[in-house]
Structure 1
């Protein structure tokens, strides 16, 4: 097969590309230039798209004897990832830019270009597995080792994208083995630190970065009864579940710490309360996509005419709301709800409604909900609302 290896400059993508070459495929390496400031150079590795990373990727391709290219996706990255990140915070949501990058850049823009150029598949260094069912339909599954599983951040992949995705590290039991393999192959990235933090926030200070990109307006910090407890410098600097940095100045009546329960951008208010009020009973998600063919309950429902209040049959899932969080037993169904801002003219919005059966706390609108059945990734949605019966009486 003709393979495009996405080379981040890290050890995982290096070994993934090497395995593709070793398997006898025709492999071409490509590094994505995502920064609009190409002179940026960071010591070590806090992200995955610096000049340093590009040079590391080139060295690996030279050692493998395969062609290497740099594709400039910086403009699209700014529009689809950075601008989206700012917009989500402006609307009081907490986005996951890595999910958006995988969706819009690494497996949309990249794959689209690769297929147009005649490549059969894109290889990355993610720890996840793509398998085919008896009918030949592709499914996304967790990697062999739970500790390294990255299927959560790939939950945005669609049925068509899975047809052209290959993850050679899927069955590798540990990162140590990947590093050992890289060392045996003579790759200089064998001991390179893992990438982490948001790549376009090089110092890792999200609050300071947001203050440069969003106009902060002071507002009220209120309790669940609507009492003003203090002032905040800008609601965009807070996230649901946050405890530190509230600067209220006086303790709660019971002496226990307070946590951010809600962010209300329209009124510029931050609502705080006790830890138990972070418990979630129900999640409603929008912009749902399916990793492979949707389950029968969803497929049957989507084949029907949209109608306000119509809902699918319920199906069992496990729900995961963060990359390194434990999944929790849940149920899910699809539902058409009223939406005056819907662009299709029908005034309806499709939501996935997830009922949580186990303890789940501190879920923020804007986070990504990924749905599983066993090891299989069913799909994902952007959390629009996370609700608790205990919070029904919070003052508006």
Structure 2
């Protein structure tokens, strides 16, 4: 662990080993210390820590971990994988710890937490400044990779990372490996299975997804795990929506709503419920019901003016009420948007620009969103984008390109 930490600190400080030991010991002597052949003496640790800008204990205790710390890490990893809301996460879990074992797992969990909260700025900060160095280092250490806790933390991070990059087949591979490790822990096993089902749906493997979901319902029912029923019904609702069984999807969303009161993450489940009910109502052109639904966002669980405005923009775009759409876009604080929300807003801006005949500007925004949602395989946004791109190309007399998008529209309708 000491060797990993000193290599990391030397890299971040842009300090060579020769510069680190200059006037103290030889480079070969340092290599022997880092290989564990000699112990790091306290006087050397004082000198090294001064040059590296850290405390002496940060070097001397790099290899240590107490039983209490191990126990706390097991709880942390379990809470992270099971998607439990961890209050005051940032203050409870420090990003630096004298024990590298504790520090590494804590940063993995913290990155996962930021990803799930859609705080991509902090997520990328930890990944770029810390995990990009340590992940390959730990992954190449066979002895450490035999540790189940490190395996679980790394696998869950890889699952979220690959899902975020739309590498869904690879996400399933990591999920399969992690599911084997947590098969006896229902609090981790069920949420991971729900995610597995969602990925199968994105890969259009609906039959397999439905089989897994039916099996999960039986498990949850047998174990009387009411807190998972909202998530399972929401997953079933999503599958039915993807298959365009809108009435069935709506019925399942009502079942999910019934069980949200038992959920261990009411806000997240409630947001998912609102989203699925909203897109179902839009597909059925039941706009008044959709507006009534959006007024519920000021409830106990959710108060998000940006989210509410984005949903209203979707209604106005569907109704072709361009003036109302443009006015609502003006209420959105784009600095606070997640990447997914920004791409949705880009679609609405592109529609307004198209109606004003600013075709090149509309095309530029639409293409950005199209690239994003094609990777995410979200057909609910692909249809309006293909329609818009086909109209723009036709207006610009690029009929071959327009025909390409018309074929994509037909493929979506037939799939």
TM-score scaled to structure 1, two decimals? 0.30
Structure ranking higher on relative contact order (CA contacts 8 Å, 6+ apart): 1
Which structure has greater helix proportion? Answer: 2
- Structure having the higher strand fraction is 1
Question: Which of the two has higher C-alpha Rg?
Answer: 2
